[in-house]
Amino acid sequence: MSAGELAAAAKAAARALGFEACGVTDVRSSPEAAGALDAWLAHGMQGEMRYMERQASTRRDPRRAWPQARSAVVVLHNHYQRDAGPAEGRGRVARYALGADYHDVMHSQLTALGERIVAAAGGGSSRVYVDAGPLPERELARRAGLGWFGKNTMLIHPRLGSFLFIGVVLTDLALASDDPFEADRCGACHRCLDACPTAAFPTPRVLDATRCISYLTIEARSPMPAELASKVGDSLFGCDVCQDACPWNVRFAKETSEPLYRAKPPGEWPTLEELVRMSEREHEEVFEGTALERPGCAGLARNATIVLENQRRGRPVSPAAS
Ligand code: B12
Ligand code: SF4
Ligand code: SF4
């Protein structure tokens, strides 16, 4: 099979597995993206995410992840769903975390994709990555022609919007690369920058994670600074505000076709009061297999306490999602 035929076979397999978009790129380092990462780290915008420092050399140069790798097959998976917001007494959970943990869902689908590529070539190997690995996933997706970096730093696909997970299959096979996405389709818009409740963007396309509700409610282990806690509103876990504000999502976001990403009924989530009192064991029972395992029992109790305080003081809640 030629490199072009193998790329076509990979894209057909990705479609058959339910991925909405697929592109191919090489694994070379990109000086602009490496420079942007270095500047971000130098300003301490990673906060307590020490893994971002530890993994920096591989993020700068993806070849270090697996020196035999020759191509990266990058896929997008839509996780958008209409969301009426939390039920009475509950906190708001970002859409990506409403159903099963996407790391598990994507991992098995990416493994199947890698196997199909190797089978089509009649040999070779593959390795799969989603979020937790040290790859610069947005940059690989942009280079594979799948979209541009919005001013909110999200990878936006021109016909799907940004409510997308990115997955990567590295392979030691050579596949024909797509043209990188070079256009900036944000134009003069700045709705995401204006909408962010915590003013987390020092400049367009740079996110100070230490101010981002997603970081504060998921990644940070320390107590939340009071100035930021008062701005979190009703967000219990993660944040979609800068994506909800984006016209590309208003226009293109469609319901996910992945049943495993679907939310359980709003009334079945534990209440904020229950979360404050929840034991480690109960936390494990309720949240096993979901992204809400990540902050741990203590992290969710911290978040629930903050949301309760914001509600008590009548502090503005996050804009109603739809
Ligand atoms: C650390 C991390 C976070 C941190 C920091 C986010 C950030 N913007 O840096 C926190 C915890 C805040 C976070 C939040 C979220 N995350 Co996150 N996160 C990651 C992770 C693990 C690394 C990202 C990273 O390297 N950041 C460092 C910065 C410097 O790099 P970057 O954002 O990837 O890429 C930027 C630079 O390369 C820069 N750049 C490149 N060249 C140039 C040139 C110039 C001139 C400039 C100015 C910049 C520039 O622009 C790129 C895009 O902004 C990736 C998975 C992965 N392995 O890549 C997921 C990932 C980015 N997250 C993801 C998601 C879904 C989210 C949330 C939506 C979850 C939620 N609903 O709460 C939010 C979105 C917040 C936001 N607006 O970004 C998805 C994004 C998918 C997409 N369509 O873009 C990813 C790819 C995971 C996945 N596999 O799907 N996340
Ligand atoms: S996810 Fe929320 S807090 Fe983070 S940058 Fe976007 S709007 Fe701001
Ligand atoms: S809201 Fe506007 S500026 Fe922000 S990412 Fe979307 S198009 Fe770009």
CA dist 233 and 313 (Å) reads 10
Q: Which residues line ligand 3 (CB under 6 A)?
A: 150-152, 186, 189-192, 245-248
Q: Say what the pLDDT of residue 62 is.
A: 95
Q: Which residues does 16 contact at the CB level (< 8 Å), separation at least 6?
A: none
CA dist 293 and 296 (Å) reads 5
154-159 contact pairs (CB < 8 A, 24+): 154/242, 154/243, 154/246, 155/76, 156/185, 156/246, 156/248, 157/20, 157/21, 157/76, 157/252, 158/185, 158/248, 159/252
Give me the residue label for tokens 């009475």. 88
Atom of ligand 2 nearest to the CA of 207: 5
CB atoms within 10 A of CB 109: 20
Q: Which residues does 288 contact at the CB level (< 8 Å), separation at least 6?
A: none
Name the nearest CA neighbour of 150 among 242, 45, 239: 242
With a 6 Å cutoff on the Cβ, whether 244 touches ligand 1 is: no
Per residue in 200-228, pLDDT (tens digit) is 999 999 999 999 999 999 999 999 999 99
Helix, strand or coil, per DSSP, at residue 102: helix
Instruction: Give the dihedral sign, CA 187/25/29/20.
Output: positive
231 secondary structure, DSSP code: T
Dihedral of the alpha carbons of 69, 37, 76, 193, in degrees to the nearest 10: -170
CB atoms within 10 A of CB 47: 18
Q: Say what the pLDDT of residue 265 is.
A: 86
Span between the terminal Cα atoms of the chain, in Å? 46
Quick check: is 131 catalytic?
yes
Pick out the chain residues at pLDDT < 70. 316-322
Task: Say how many Å lie between the CA of residue 232 and the centre of ligand 2.
Answer: 10
Strand (E) or helix (H) holding 74: strand 71-78
| Nearest protein CA to atom 11 of ligand 1, as residue | 215
Q: Say what the pLDDT of residue 266 is.
A: 82
Two tokens at 129? 């990555």
Atom of ligand 1 nearest to the CA of 204: 47
Give me the residue label for tokens 């975390």. 97
Q: Say what the pLDDT of residue 83 is.
A: 86
Pocket test for ligand 3, best of 152, 154, 203, 207 (most atoms within 8 A of CB): 152
Per residue in 90-129, pLDDT (tens digit) is 999 999 999 999 999 999 999 999 999 999 999 999 999 9
Q: Which of 61, 131, 172, 178 is catalytic?
A: 131
Name the nearest CA neighbour of 168 among 134, 120, 122, 219: 134
Q: What angle is formed at CA 230 by the lines to CA 201 and CA 295, rounded to 5 degrees? A: 75
Q: Say what the pLDDT of residue 201 is.
A: 98
| Nearest protein CA to atom 4 of ligand 3, as residue | 192
CA dist 158 and 248 (Å) reads 7
CA dist 24 and 285 (Å) reads 39
